[in-house]
């Protein structure tokens, strides 16, 4: 791949990049106090990166971290657990976040996971994170982050699922072949999410099966 694997050495700077990229995501449901939100948001991103690193497919554009993408196969179990926090090295940022906020994050994740399994019950790839540093947006990095993996997923003949929010993001994902399949508000939050699914293109498995038959 032309992309680089996200490594432990990249986690700290990637956490800060994600904070810049998602600066419009208020996280007010988790951290109502603005100052606490400002201080703890980078730890939330670090927690997520460390937690996902051993289990997801995480890539960066280069060591300069213009952008990052994280994929999970639907067979991977992303649920928050103490043992996984401990073994992944996510326990330190978890302590910085605080257990009250972690419980809110767990409830949020559990609902979103249930919703994804309801909307995409068959095997699929889940696009968990796609982010480009604001100073590098509009330079084609999102395409670089997505196209190579999408091509490989098409060869597997599997669909892709993503949840997002905002018309701009929906339009961007539609450009890559995703279609809106549902919209929902996560209970006890103000987050309105859009669920999108991309069916595989050029299903090579299907072509081979047709030739055999």
Q: Mind listing the pLDDT tens digit for each residue in 134-152?
A: 999 999 999 999 998 999 9
Tokens of 15: 């956490």
Long-range CB pairs of 103-107, under 8 A, 24+ apart, other chains included: 104/29, 104/30, 105/30, 105/44, 105/80, 106/79, 106/80, 107/188
Mention every residue, 6+ apart, whose C-beta is less than 8 A from residue 143: none
Give SS3 for 132: strand
Edge-to-edge order in the sheet of strand 179-185: 4-5, 57-60, 67-73, 125-132, 160-164, 192-198, 179-185
192 pLDDT higher than 80: yes
Domain, as residue range, for 137:
4-212
58 pLDDT higher than 90: yes
How far is residue 159 from each of residues 100, 119, 150, measured CA to CA in Å?
Answer: 35, 12, 9
Q: Provide the domain count of the chain.
A: 1
Q: Is 147 exposed, middle or buried (0-12, 13-18, 19+ CB in 10 A)?
A: middle
Give the pLDDT mean for 117-144: 95
pLDDT at 82: 75
208 pLDDT higher than 60: no
Kindly state the DSSP code that residue 22 receives in the 8-state scheme: T
pLDDT tens track for 65-111 = 999 999 999 988 666 677 777 778 889 999 999 999 999 988 998 99
Neighbours of 10 (CB within 10 A): 19
d(Cα 94, Cα 17) in Å, to the nearest integer? 19
CATH classification at residue 158: 3.40.630.30
What's the mean per-residue pLDDT of the chain? 88
Nearest to 22, CA basis, from 127, 131, 137: 131
d(Cα 39, Cα 50) in Å, to the nearest integer? 18
pLDDT at 206: 44
């Amino acid at each position: 791949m032309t992309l680089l694997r996200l490594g432990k050495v990249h986690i700290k700077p990637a956490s800060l990049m994600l904070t810049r990229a998602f600066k419009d995501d208020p996280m007010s449901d988790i951290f109502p106090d603005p100052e606490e939100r400002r201080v703890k948001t980078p730890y939330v991103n670090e927690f997520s990166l460390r937690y996902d690193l051993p289990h997801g497919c995480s890539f960066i554009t280069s060591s300069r971290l213009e952008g990052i993408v994280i994929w999970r196969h639907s067979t991977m179990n992303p649920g928050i657990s103490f043992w996984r926090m401990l073994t992944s090295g996510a326990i330190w940022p978890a302590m910085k976040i605080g257990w009250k906020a972690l419980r809110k994050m767990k409830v949020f994740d559990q609902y979103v996971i249930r919703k994804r399994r309801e909307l995409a019950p068959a095997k699929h790839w889940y696009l968990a994170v796609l982010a480009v540093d604001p100073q590098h947006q509009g330079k084609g990095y999102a395409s670089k982050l997505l196209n190579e993996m999408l091509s490989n997923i098409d060869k597997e003949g599997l669909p892709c699922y993503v949840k997002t929010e905002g018309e701009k993001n929906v339009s961007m994902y539609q450009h890559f072949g995703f279609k809106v399949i549902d919209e929902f508000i996560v209970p006890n939050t103000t987050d309105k999410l859009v669920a999108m699914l991309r069916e595989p293109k050029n299903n090579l498995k299907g072509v081979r099966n047709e030739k055999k038959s």
